[in-house]
Amino acid sequence: MAQHGIEAHSHTGVPIQTRNERPRSASVSDFPEVSKLQEIWRYIPQDLIRGLDQEVMGEVGQEAIELKLAAGITSRWVDSTDALIGSAGLPEDRISAAAWTNASKTMVIEIPKNTEIDGPSFIEINPKAHEAKALHIVLVIGANSQATVVLDHVGDGVLGENVELVLEDGAKLDFITIAQWNKGSSHISSQFAKIGKDAELKHVVVSLGGDLVRVTPASYLSSPGGKTNMYGVYLADTGNYFEHRPYVDHIAPNCVSDVAYKGALQGKGAHTVWVGDVLIRESAVGTNSYELNRNLLLTDGARADSVPNLEIETGKIEGAGHASASGRFDDLQLFYLMARGISEPEAKQLVVRGFLNEMIQKIGVAQIEERLIAAIELELEKVGV
């Protein structure tokens, strides 16, 4: 059974320096009030949290969830005291813990072992309200099975969410989580992935709409031969605050991780934050890891914060590295296109589309890729880019 109490860490009384040192607990009272004095909340606009940090809130009902599951996938609701809950991880912050304790029921999606699912499955979340709500989802991929699942957030909502992904040995999962909320919405999602022996996870985060979207996905490579690819794409406009904090914990030997997020920002006040953490433990010999973040600033007044962190406890690895860059259009690219008779506005559009499409194409679901490309084109037209 999962441990739901605070976990001990070695630096009690000392400011927490690394992601792995954070306490983990499903109890809200184990975490202090949200404050910009804490590193994990240093950037977030606190007025946009909208009650998601409170000890008591409502929960998302079944009527707010539409399932379109491929044949062979089952769904059920269980009490959140079930032994399955917490299999992939536990909350590392107050808002995640609040969502955990206020979701009395958890939606469990299961793919049986030795099953290859044809086509993508969809979970659409639309609370249709601006009151703080909690949701908990657990997705279990059986041993040697393969599936694609899309978690799609649309409409109006103030949502505190926990998502657990459990990949048993040899499983392969493509998981796409989309935030395309209406104005006035806030979404804070903690996502935990436990990756079994020789299992592979492709985790894609897409953020396109909402006043506040904060996604903190964590991959735990706790068995040999595991692999995680964590990708992200985002387009922030005036009034959008998007924060992504991917974390990879290399625990077992001979595992691979690749993290790559790209975003474009336009409009005064558009703000994105990317904090990437990779930990390679002493036991994780043979690790191969890389993380990257790129931001393209389209207009004045937009701000992108990017912080890659890499902690290595063993020298017996295949490789590890990180890179981060934020900047405006590449003048050479624009010159190249304009020299061939393309106008400056059209040249800028081509550069932006190419910059973001590289990540969108990693989704691997044609209908989602087409939808996101259309949304990006619409946003670019608004400011004449």
- Are the C-beta atoms of residues 105 and 137 closer than 8 Å to each other? no
**Which pLDDT value is given to residue 1?**
38
Cα angle 280-281-284, degrees, rounded to a multiple of 5: 80
Question: pLDDT tens digits, residue range 47-98?
Answer: 999 999 999 999 999 999 999 999 999 999 999 999 999 999 999 999 999 9
In degrees and rounded to multiples of 5, residue 332 shows phi and psi of -65, -40
DSSP of 309-334: EEEE--S--SEEEEEEEEES--HHHH
HSE, CB side, 13 Å, CA atoms: give it for residue 164: 25
The Cα 242–Cα 260 span in angstroms is 16
Q: Read out DSSP for 120-173?
A: EEEEEE---S-SEEEEEEEEEE-TT-EEEEEEEEEES-EEEEEEEEEE-TT-EE
The per-residue pLDDT for 3 is 42
Q: Helix or strand or coil: residue 246?
A: coil
**Residues 6 or more apart from 372 whose CB is under 8 A from it?**
178, 206, 208, 233, 360, 363
Residue 13 has pLDDT above 80, yes or no: no
AA letter at 293 = N
Q: What's the pLDDT tens digit per position in 170-188?
A: 999 999 999 999 999 999 9
Half-sphere exposure in the Cβ direction for 226 (13 Å, CA): 27
Q: What is the pLDDT of residues 332-345, one digit of tens each?
A: 877 888 898 888 77
pTM of the model: 0.92
Q: What is the mean pLDDT of residues 277-300?
A: 95
At 210-257, the pLDDT tens digits run 999 999 999 999 999 999 999 999 999 999 999 999 999 999 999 999
Band of pLDDT at residue 18, cut at 50, 70 and 90:
low
Q: What is the mean pLDDT of the chain?
A: 91
User: Which pLDDT value is given to residue 16?
Assistant: 53
Amino acid at 77: W
Q: Tell me, what's the pLDDT at 383?
A: 56
